[in-house]
Each structure stands twice: as C-alpha cells, then as structure tokens.
Amino acid sequence: MTDTVIRRTGRAGHVSLSRPKALNALNHAMCLEIEAALDAWRDDPEVALVMIDGAGDKAFCAGGDIAEIYHQGRAGDYATGRAFWRDEYRLNAKLAEYPKPVISFLHGFVMGGGVGLGGHVGERVVCESSQIAMPECGIGFVPDVGGSLLLARAPGRLGEYLGLTAARMGPGDAIHAGFADHFVPEADWPALKERLAATGDVAALSEAASAPPASPMAAAQDEIDVLFGADSVAGIRAALEGAKGPIGEAARKAVGRNSPLSMAVTLEMLRRLRAGDGDIRAALRQEYRVSHRIVEEGDFVEGVRAQIIDKDRTPHWRLAADEVTPAHVEAMLAPLGEDELAL
C-alpha cells in the first residue's frame, strides 16, 4: 500500500497520509508525491480546493521519518538528510503560497513535519484530540519546516516557551498560538469533507466550526512571558529556577534536558525573524542553514539516538549549557553560499 493516498473527489484534490502504524510520519517519497499532486492541481479548473488529512485515529502526522537520516549520518552520509530537508522545505513553501484554498485536518499528534505539512495552509482545522508541538530541541535539532515562523509570530514569549520545551498544544492552545484556525468536533469531519468536496466552497468551514475549548496557555500567557522573557538560555534558566507551579516546573525540567546548542540557536532564529521582514521563505532558508549542518556538526545524531533509536533518554550533548557561545550559534546560522536553499 502506498504511504500517500492522492485522489480527486468532486471539486477537491484530496491528500491522505497513510502510514497509521508509523503515526503518518513523513518520508522523502511522500513529500515528492504531495508536491507533484499540488503542481497538477494548481491549474486544474476542476479542482477548487485541496484537503489534507491523515489515516488512523492517533495522528495527522507525528513528524518526519528521521531514522534513515540518523543511520546515514552515523555512516558519514550527510547528503541524504540535506536532500530530504531541501525537498520538504520546498513543499512547505509551496503549501504556504498555494493559490487555491488548502484545508488541513489536524487530529491527534501533529508534530514537526506534521506542522510543516498542515500548519502553513490557509485553513487549519483542529478537534478534541489535537496535540500540536515542535519537539526538535529534545532531539538536538531546531524547530524547522517553517515552524520557527509560527513560533516567532505567537503571542508574547509563547514561541520561546513552545520551542525550547516542546510543550504540547491542545486545540484551544493551538488557535491561541496561531497554529490553527477552526475547531470542529471530529465526529463532524466526514460530513464537512463531503460538503467541501461537493461545493468547492470553504464557507462550509465557518458554518461547521464551534467555539474551541479553553486555552490553558492563554490563561498562563503572563506567566510564560515572564519566565521566557530573557534573551538567552541562561537568562531563561535563571528565571525558571525559582518558578513554582506546573508550567514553571515542567519548563525547568525540559530546558534542563534539551540540547543547549539547539535551544540557543532557536532563540536566535526567532529573534532574527522578528527583527526582519520574516516570511515563510526567510524562515525556511534560515532553518535549512541549520539542518544542512546539524547532522555533522550539531547534536542531531546523539539526540535521535537517545530519544528514538536506543530510547535511553540520556543524550550526551556536545556542549554543556555554559559552553555554548554566540560564535557557536552564528556558525550554525551562517550563509551556505552555493548550498543555500533555493525555493
């Protein structure tokens, strides 16, 4: 069975991720198949809109399928990861800039590559089971697939909190943070998809949507802004040391265990996007500078080993928190010359 089911239904082009046992993790072939479908539908007058969803009841897409990148990286092959990320990021940009309405149905786990696939489109639907996160700093990477842009645009210091801690957003949180647009109970999704396909009209979304659940992160926004208000990982660590309550305690543990280099680079990525005219292309180009280097020069291989391969949850990061310097961060974000991402 193919990992991606692509078909036209009525007025809709319909993409379904079909790896439910792997939580619909996105691999290189799937990226290329989805991109080809988008290219074919762009100028097809019979296709009025595009829908993207995932099979199974656990996940829209729990991230990129990074095991192969890990194994190839350990063998000294860095080209495999670079090619995957280059093509994935091109797909992310294409989705963000697509001229026809694109609707993503974000049920269950939506993490990393799943955010890149469903988080930049014009209409993002969540439901009761939605759990959205950018967990990359825990595997020695940085928020990518355009996720850094969503984090930079989140209210207050919520982007720093989400990026450094990998905290999960429920449906209300996702809408508050700018990662989703509509809350529709999952039981209503089949009828909604049928109507969208039959009419080709996104007005069906607003008619089906209801008030989202409350957002705990919105309620804690002031606390998060204080805890993550510093401009450095050291400053954030200091603020978290005296924090009480569930938000501060969980954040202190996460910041204490995640890659110090990855967290420092993430903070600088968000700062640069906010300081400039940050758009999806600027975010992806910046992210690609990191992903181009991360397997060879960063904590990616060790982070994936500890969290996904061996699952011992005890990564040995290259640099301790007090060893990361601005020069280390700048080296990860420096221009790539001829290897810069072309979109």
Q: Spell out the residues 6+ positions from residue 19 whose beta carbon is closer than 8 angstroms to its own.
A: 3, 25, 55
Q: Which pairs with CB-CB distance under 8 Å and at least 24 residues apart come from 192-197?
A: 192/125, 193/12, 193/14, 193/51, 193/53, 193/105, 196/11, 196/12, 196/49, 196/51, 196/103, 197/9, 197/10, 197/11, 197/12, 197/14, 197/51
Whether 65 contacts 25, CB under 8 Å: yes
H or E stretch covering 274 = helix 260-275
Sheet holding 59-61, edge to edge: 59-61, 109-111, 131-133
The pairing of strands 59-61 and 109-111 is parallel
Catalytic residues: 64, 113, 136, 144
The residue among 128, 104, 126, 127 whose CA lies nearest residue 116 is: 104
